[in-house]
Chain A
């Protein structure tokens, strides 16, 4: 069969302008050898940067805990919450420096070096697993030491063991799910077109739409660039089809002539590095903001549940077991939603969000509103814990700092600042 296909294709050589190499390529079934590394194929998906932003937040949280505890040990006179708030503010500053470094491309060399190191997905997974073990267990060890120092071991060993176990689960769940999602996202498959001799049912528009979607997942390629490339692809296909090549083969050859989306993406990125780094930082900041929002939402639901449990005077063991379980269930829901985003099941919602936030002012207004909601939720939380009495202003501020409000405000401001310009009107129009 391949010989017959090859002879058919060879017959087209003189008429369709195919090179010898292209004829051989078509005759071999359109295979270009093994797939490339994850860095080239899937390392460009926004989901990767959101997940990395999320993991950055997890590292940030663990570092905050460890540093606060270290400072508290050095100077036990200060309250743990105040020390933690101080460390939080310092870490916020460091995060902003990091965001600036990423958005301005000053850390480009470091990240390129890392990309070179992680040419194989397994290396990245191994290092992330090591980081996960460090950042999950070190706070738990510190927590154990802290409990020992407070001599809580004497009260109930079983309750403390349960507390530590839940603490491990609570810290491990985000890492496990994020690593799982990265494993799912990274080996993104390339849309290589079927190059079998002729497919009567080949849908040209569908194939082009798939190619365009894959291209848009690569960073550095804007809607406008994709539109221009799609137009090129269509013209190339029209020329090849006119010369006698079946539509599916014309599509495959045209795609091959244009080049793999990953190569195109890296070339576009070289041509406009500032835009690419801004987009990466934008996704990371979005990841951090989404995490903080999720935490606030989670806390308000837990507050509601806690209030119900207290009001009903049932389930005396609820605060020990019921709430952590509810917490873990909500984490699972959050990750399910993230998986939906990765799979493209939230396109209607993300499309609406994009349209709504086409201007920086709308984004800033919404972020300010959400910050106000976070403050309100935490004030309610404090009231609930403090039996309806307001806490002193200093303690309230410390609580709000610990609730991540400064990080939310700073990350939001940075997002408004580095946001790329809204695409021009022409990009919204799909080719007819």
Chain B
């Protein structure tokens, strides 16, 4: 099952913020975490993550620093800011509302639509 592009795009911000909220991370690790969490159902074009990260950084939700990887190469790490934590809380509240609505709707048994029959056919 492939999740639509629109849903992937809509969920990108809360997903990225939630992963970074668990601790400082970098692009490739975030992608791997998404793959792992979704069991491959959510497929991002990897490069698309970085413009999202940059947008969040410009919005002041996350901040970055250049560090070194295990191999000694340069690597950019991202961590959540205070504003980011607040934004994540807001996102969580929004998604929980949507989740509650859909869960409630799908729990209810679908009832047959009421058809108004003419009087002579009703009996």
Contact = CB atoms under 8 A, between A and B. Distances in A.
Interface stretch (A77-85, A265-273, A334-342): A265-273
B58 A272 contact: yes
B75 A229 contact: no
Given A231-B74, A429-B74, A431-B73, A271 B55 contact: yes
Contacts of B58: 271-272
Contacts of B75: 231
30 contacts: A225-B50, A231-B27, A231-B69, A232-B27, A232-B28, A232-B46, A232-B50, A234-B73, A235-B28, A236-B46, A257-B45, A257-B46, A258-B46, A259-B46, A259-B47, A264-B47, A264-B48, A264-B50, A264-B51, A267-B48, A267-B51, A268-B54, A270-B51, A271-B51, A271-B54, A272-B54, A426-B66, A429-B74, A431-B74, A432-B72
Given A234-B73, A268-B50, 18 more contacts: A19-B40, A225-B54, A231-B69, A231-B73, A232-B27, A232-B28, A232-B31, A236-B28, A259-B46, A259-B47, A259-B48, A264-B51, A267-B47, A267-B48, A271-B54, A426-B66, A426-B74, A429-B74
Closest 6 CB pairs of A and B: A271-B51, A259-B45, A259-B47, A258-B47, A267-B51, A264-B47
Contact of B47 (A19, A229, A429): A229
A270 B54 CA distance: 11
Interface residues of B, number: 22
A227 interface: yes
A396 interface: no
A429 B68 CA distance: 13
A228 B76 contact: yes
Contacts of A272: 54, 58
A258 B45 contact: yes
Contacts of A231: 27-28, 69, 73-76
Secondary structure type dominating chain A contacts: helix
Contacts of A232: 27-28, 31, 46-47, 50
Interface string B91-108: 000000000000000000
Nearest to B56: A271
Nearest to B35: A17
B74 A268 contact: no
A60 B76 CA distance: 45
Interface string B46-90: 111011101100100000001001001111100000000000000
Given A225-B50, A232-B27, A263 B74 contact: no
B10 to A, nearest CB: 16
Of B47, B54, B66, B69, most buried by chain A (CB within 10 Å of CB) is: B47
Size category of the A interface is: 20 to 34
A429 B72 CA distance: 13
A225 B27 CA distance: 11
Interface in A222-244: 225, 227-229, 231-232, 234-236
A227 B74 CA distance: 8
Nearest to A272: B54
Interface of B: 27-28, 31, 40, 43, 45-48, 50-52, 54-55, 58, 66, 69, 72-76
Nearest to A254: B46
B28 A263 contact: no
A270 B69 CA distance: 29
Nearest to B64: A228
Given A232-B27, A236-B28, A268 B76 contact: no
Contacts of B28: 231-232, 235-236
Contacts of B76: 228, 231
Given A258-B47, A263-B47, A432 B40 contact: no
Contact of A268 (B43, B46, B51, B73): B51
A431 B45 CA distance: 23
Contact of B50 (A19, A229, A431, A432): A229
A232 B50 CA distance: 10
Nearest to B76: A228
A232 to B, nearest CB: 5
Contacts of B73: 231, 234, 431-432
A270 to B, nearest CB: 7
Of B48, B55, B73, most buried by chain A (CB within 10 Å of CB) is: B73
A167 to B, nearest CB: 50
Nearest to A235: B28
A302 to B, nearest CB: 50
Contacts of B27: 228, 231-232
Of B45, B52, B74, B76, most buried by chain A (CB within 10 Å of CB) is: B74
Interface in A383-428: 426
Contacts of B72: 432
